């Protein structure tokens, strides 16, 4: 699997097949509308593992994807610890022992259950919002006659 690293260190801009593209912290931050601080924090929490070029962080596709997944998880209300749990086990999978793998399956089932409940919650909350919306429009309409 180890591919000989290309010796051209610089000269990348646009024509790269995306698998080899790299990103600076600022780039990623703009892409996902977060601050660099957030990205560094996620690294510190073990969610990202960029390489270095001198002292600067270099992010690969893998890191970008991880960041995306992390932010998605956050939007769904997962804690960074929960997210890390899955992500790290995913990485440890190839050489994972059976116990670890079964544990992973458990966690996944758990997350899935969580998602299902969220779906139901969304359904219910939608209905309530629609309801409130209706009423508000009603009142507005009647107010309109007055104005």
Partner DNA sequence: CAAGCACTTTACGTTAACGTAAACCTCGTC
Partner DNA sequence: GACGAGGTTTACGTTAACGTAAAGTGCTTG
**By the criterion CB under 8 A, which residues form the site for a second copy?**
69, 72-73, 75-77, 86, 90, 93-94, 96-98, 101-102, 104-105, 108, 111-112, 115, 117-119, 121-122, 124-126, 128-129, 132-133, 135-137, 139-140, 143, 147
Q: In whole angstroms, what separates CA 114 from the centre of its chain? A: 17
Stated as kind and residue range, the H or E segment containing 51 is: strand 51-53
Q: How far is the CB of 32 from DNA (least distance, A)?
A: 11
Per CB under 7 A, does 104 bind DNA? no
Per CB under 7 A, does 79 bind DNA? yes
- Per CB under 7 A, the segment of 18-26, 60-68, 87-95, 137-145 that binds DNA is 18-26
Nearest CB to a second copy, comparing residues 14 and 95? 95
Contacts 24+ apart (CB under 8 A), 34-40: 34/71, 39/67
Nearest CB to a second copy, comparing residues 20 and 120? 120
Nearest CB to DNA, comparing residues 86 and 96? 86
Is residue 61 within 8 A of residue 19, CB to CB? The reply is yes
Contacts 24+ apart (CB under 8 A), 65-73: 67/28, 67/32, 67/39, 67/42, 68/32, 70/42, 71/32, 71/34
Q: How far is the CB of 102 from DNA (least distance, A)?
A: 25
């Amino acid at each position: 699997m180890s591919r000989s690293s290309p010796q051209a260190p610089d000269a990348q801009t646009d024509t790269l097949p995306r698998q080899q593209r790299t990103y600076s912290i600022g780039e990623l931050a703009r892409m996902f509308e977060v601050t660099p601080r957030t990205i560094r924090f996620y690294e510190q929490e073990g969610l990202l593992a960029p390489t270095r070029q001198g002292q600067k962080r270099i992010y690969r596709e893998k890191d970008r994807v991880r960041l995306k997944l992390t932010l998605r998880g956050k939007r769904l209300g997962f804690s960074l610890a929960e997210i890390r749990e899955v992500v790290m086990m995913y990485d440890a999978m190839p050489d994972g022992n059976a116990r670890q793998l079964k544990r992973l399956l458990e966690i996944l089932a758990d997350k899935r259950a969580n998602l299902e409940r969220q779906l139901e919650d969304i359904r219910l909350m939608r209905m309530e919002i629609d309801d409130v919306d209706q009423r508000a429009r009603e009142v507005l309409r009647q107010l309109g006659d007055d104005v």
